[in-house]
Chain A
Amino acid sequence: MAHVPVVPIGNPRESVVDKAEFDRELAGHDPLVRKLEARREEVKAGWGEKYVERVHEKDKLTTRERLERLKDEGTDLFEVGTFVNYGADFNGLRSPAAGVVTAFAKVEGRWCVVIANDNTVASGAWWPNTPEKIERAQEMARRLRLPTLYLVDCSGLYLPEQSKSFAGAKGAGHIFKMNSLLSAEGVPQIAGVFGDCIAGGGYMPIISDRVYMTEQAYMVIAGAALIKGAKSQHITSLDIGGPEVHVHQSGCADERVPDDITLIECLRREVARLPSSGASFYRGGVAPMAPRFSPKELPGLLPVDHRQAYEANEVLARLCDQSLFWEVLPSVGREMICGIGRVGGLYAGFVLNRQGLIDDPEAEGDARPGGILYRQGIAKISAFSRACDSDGIPLIWLQDISGFDIGAEAERHGLLAYGSNLIYTNSTNQTPMFTVLLRKASGAGYYAMAGLPYDPVVQLSTTVSRLSVMEGRTLAIASYNSKLDDNFEIVTTDPKERAQIEKRMAEVEARIEADMDPYVAAEQLDTDEIIRVDELRDWLEVLVEMSYQGVGYRRVKNPRIWTMHDLDVLVNGGRA
Chain B
Amino acid sequence: MLGCPPVKRFRRLFIANRGEVAARIARTCDALGVTPVFGVSEADREAPYLRGREFVVLGPSRSGESYLAMERIVQAAVQTRCSVVHPGWGFLAENPLFASLCEAHGVTFIGPPPSVMQQLGRKTPAKTAMAAAGLKLIPGSDGVLRDADQASEVAAAIGFPVLLKAESGGGGRGMRVVREAGGVKKAYESAQAESLAAFGDGRLYLEKLIEGGRHIEIQLLADKYGNVVHLGERDCSVQRKHQKLIEESPALVLSEEERQQTLAAAVRATESIGYVGAGTMEFLLDSGDELRFMEMNARLQVEHPVTEMRTGIDLVEAQIRVASGEPLWFTQSDVTLRGHAIECRINAEDPSNGFAPSPGVIEHWSVATADSNVRVDTHVESGYEVPPHYDSLVCKVIAWGEDRDAACDRLSEALQTMRCDGISTTIPMHVSVLASKEFRDNRYDTRAVPGWEV
Binding site for B on A (CB under 8 A): 1, 3-8, 12, 14, 285-289, 292, 322, 324, 576
Q: Which residues of chain A come closer than 8 Å to B106, judged between CB atoms?
A: 1, 3
- Residues of chain B in range 71-94 having any CB-CB distance to chain A below 8 Å: 71, 78-79
Is the CB–CB distance between A7 and B114 below 8 Å? no
Q: Which of B95-103, B207-215, B401-409 contacts A (4 or more CB under 8 A)?
A: B95-103
Asked if B8 is an interface residue, CB under 8 A from chain A, the answer is no
Is the CB–CB distance between A289 and B115 below 8 Å? yes
Is the CB–CB distance between A289 and B114 below 8 Å? yes
Is the CB–CB distance between B101 and A6 below 8 Å? yes
Q: Which residues of chain B come closer than 8 Å to A287, judged between CB atoms?
A: 113-116
Is the CB–CB distance between B100 and A322 below 8 Å? yes
Q: Which residues of chain A come closer than 8 Å to B97, judged between CB atoms?
A: 8, 292, 322, 324
Asked if B155 is an interface residue, CB under 8 A from chain A, the answer is no
Is the CB–CB distance between B104 and A8 below 8 Å? no
Partner of A3, one of B100, B105, B200: B105
Give, as a whole number of angstroms, the nearest-CB distance from B87 to chain A.
Answer: 17
Partner of B104, one of A285, A288, A289, A324: A324
Query: Which 3 residue pairs across A and B have the least CB separation, nearest first?
Result: A287-B115, A6-B104, A3-B106
Asked if B301 is an interface residue, CB under 8 A from chain A, the answer is no
Query: For residue B79, which residue of chain A has the nearest CB?
Result: A576
Bound together, the chains give a CA A1 to CA B118 distance in angstroms of 29
Is the CB–CB distance between B104 and A576 below 8 Å? no
Is the CB–CB distance between A322 and B105 below 8 Å? no
Partner of A8, one of B71, B103, B105, B115: B71
Asked if B70 is an interface residue, CB under 8 A from chain A, the answer is yes
Q: Which residues of chain A come closer than 8 Å to B113, judged between CB atoms?
A: 285-287
Is the CB–CB distance between A8 and B70 below 8 Å? yes
Bound together, the chains give a CA A286 to CA B274 distance in angstroms of 12
Give, as a whole number of angstroms, the nearest-CB distance from A346 to chain B.
Answer: 14
- With contact pairs A7-B71, A8-B71 given, residues A324 and B114 touching in the complex (Cβ less than 8 Å): no
Is the CB–CB distance between B104 and A4 below 8 Å? yes
Bound together, the chains give a CA A12 to CA B113 distance in angstroms of 24
Bound together, the chains give a CA A324 to CA B104 distance in angstroms of 10
A-B pairs with beta carbons under 8 Å apart, 24 shown: A1-B106, A3-B105, A4-B104, A5-B104, A6-B100, A6-B104, A7-B71, A7-B101, A8-B71, A8-B97, A12-B200, A14-B200, A285-B113, A286-B103, A286-B113, A287-B113, A287-B115, A288-B115, A289-B114, A292-B97, A322-B96, A322-B97, A324-B100, A576-B78
Is the CB–CB distance between A5 and B105 below 8 Å? yes
Bound together, the chains give a CA A292 to CA B100 distance in angstroms of 12
Q: Which residues of chain A come closer than 8 Å to B71, judged between CB atoms?
A: 7-8
Query: For residue A293, which residue of chain B has the nearest CB?
Result: B200
**Chain B CB within 10 Å — which of A3, A286, A287, A292 has the most?**
A287
Bound together, the chains give a CA A322 to CA B98 distance in angstroms of 10
Bound together, the chains give a CA A552 to CA B114 distance in angstroms of 30
Bound together, the chains give a CA A21 to CA B116 distance in angstroms of 36
Q: Which residues of chain A come closer than 8 Å to B104, judged between CB atoms?
A: 3-6, 324
Bound together, the chains give a CA A4 to CA B70 distance in angstroms of 17
Q: Which residues of chain A come closer than 8 Å to B96, judged between CB atoms?
A: 289, 322
Bound together, the chains give a CA A161 to CA B105 distance in angstroms of 60
- Residues of chain B in range 110-161 having any CB-CB distance to chain A below 8 Å: 113-116, 118
Bound together, the chains give a CA A292 to CA B113 distance in angstroms of 17
Q: Which residues of chain B come closer than 8 Å to A286, judged between CB atoms?
A: 100, 103, 113-115
Query: For residue B74, which residue of chain A has the nearest CB?
Result: A7
Give, as a whole number of angstroms, the nearest-CB distance from B307 to chain A.
Answer: 29
Give, as a whole number of angstroms, the nearest-CB distance from A258 to chain B.
Answer: 37
Bound together, the chains give a CA A92 to CA B161 distance in angstroms of 65
Bound together, the chains give a CA A286 to CA B106 distance in angstroms of 14
Q: Which residues of chain A come closer than 8 Å to B100, judged between CB atoms?
A: 6, 286, 289, 322, 324
